[in-house]
């Protein structure tokens, strides 16, 4: 998430009541999760296991729960609760409406038809010649390209499934990102595509999604992908171009699937995959799987 205008380190520190390490006029451009963070942005870390990863990431400002040696050219925000303060920073610079206020700042292109029962949030852009079916929900800040079809019951821009356990309860990391649907995408009935926590969940140009598909926060699906019903893709995945995913496949968070890959029905993906065709509850090369099955059947 980029701020509307650059901020100073001291301004952010004052906002959350934290100590800071670095020049008070150190420039802060935004905030982001560690897998998406860019120079000039804040990343948070609240466990020693991940200190090195955060300190050595592309982030320029590290929101951390302990004062440590600050890498050259970077700054620290030292907080007793970085998770809480990351939420505070994000919601200060991005207002959360949750459909509680009247529609505003919505752009709809020529030739687009939106059914009267669809619900559209704030700061939404919809391109030309789109077709939005009944009971579609389009959350705040969603961007939809041209020639897009979204069928009934689909929700674009729901909250990310991102929690920590605090005092025996679940505490949400508030989602201030968005969803981007590129040109010529078709999305079936009752799909749910979560918005990014601090960045964008993206469905690439020309991709087609069947019914009842879940796409997690900050996942990027490439161009001309074909995804069958009941697929579940966790957050922060990269699905490259022209990937085919058949019914009920499941993909764990933070994984990359190479261009041209085919995932057969009910595949479980627990690691990055190179181009190929995969099958099985723990994804394995399909030809290898068949050979293994033949050998097992011949064991008599």
Which residues are tagged catalytic?
217
Q: What's the token pair of residue 53? A: 């990863």
Runs of H (alpha helix) within the chain: 9-16, 51-55, 82-93, 286-297
Q: Would you say 156 and 119 are in contact if contact means Cβ atoms under 8 Å apart?
A: no
CB-based contacts of 116, cutoff 8 Å, min separation 6 = none
Determine the Cα–Cα distance for residues 27 and 152; give it in Å rounded to an integer. 45
Residue 184 backbone dihedrals phi, psi, to 5 degrees: 65, 30
Determine the Cα–Cα distance for residues 45 and 62; give it in Å rounded to an integer. 7
Question: What DSSP state is assigned to residue 24?
Answer: T
Determine the Cα–Cα distance for residues 105 and 128; give it in Å rounded to an integer. 17
Determine the Cα–Cα distance for residues 275 and 277; give it in Å rounded to an integer. 7
CB-based contacts of 170, cutoff 8 Å, min separation 6 = 163, 164
Of 168, 99, 95, 92, which Cα lies nearest the Cα of 138?
A: 99
């Amino acid at each position: 998430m980029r701020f509307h205008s650059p901020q100073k380190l001291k301004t952010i520190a004052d906002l959350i009541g934290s100590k800071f390490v670095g020049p008070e006029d150190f420039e802060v451009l935004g905030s982001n999760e560690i897998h998406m963070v860019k120079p000039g942005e804040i990343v948070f870390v609240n466990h020693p296991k991940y200190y090195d990863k955060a300190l050595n990431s592309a982030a320029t400002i590290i929101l951390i729960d302990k004062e440590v040696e600050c890498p050259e050219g970077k700054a620290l925000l030292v907080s007793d609760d970085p998770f809480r303060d990351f939420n505070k920073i994000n919601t200060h610079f991005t207002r959360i409406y949750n459909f509680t206020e009247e529609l505003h700042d919505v752009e709809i292109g020529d030739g687009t038809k939106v059914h009267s029962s669809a619900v559209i949030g704030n700061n939404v852009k919809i391109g030309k010649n789109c077709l939005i079916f009944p009971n579609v929900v389009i959350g705040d800040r969603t961007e939809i390209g041209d020639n897009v079809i979204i069928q009934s019951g689909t929700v674009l821009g729901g909250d990310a499934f991102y929690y920590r356990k605090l005092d025996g309860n679940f505490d949400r990391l508030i989602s201030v990102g968005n969803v981007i649907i590129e040109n010529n995408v078709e999305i079936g009935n009752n799909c749910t595509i979560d918005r990014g926590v601090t960045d964008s969940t993206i469905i690439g140009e020309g991709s087609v999604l069947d019914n009842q598909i879940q796409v997690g926060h900050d996942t990027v699906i490439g161009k001309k992908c074909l995804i069958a019903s009941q697929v579940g893709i966790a957050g922060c995945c990269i699905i490259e171009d022209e990937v085919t995913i058949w019914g009920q496949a499941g993909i764990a968070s933070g994984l990359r699937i190479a261009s041209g890959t085919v995932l057969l029905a009910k595949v479980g993906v627990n690691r990055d995959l190179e181009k190929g065709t995969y099958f099985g509850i723990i994804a394995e090369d399909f030809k290898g799987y068949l050979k293994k099955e033949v050998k097992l059947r011949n064991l008599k």
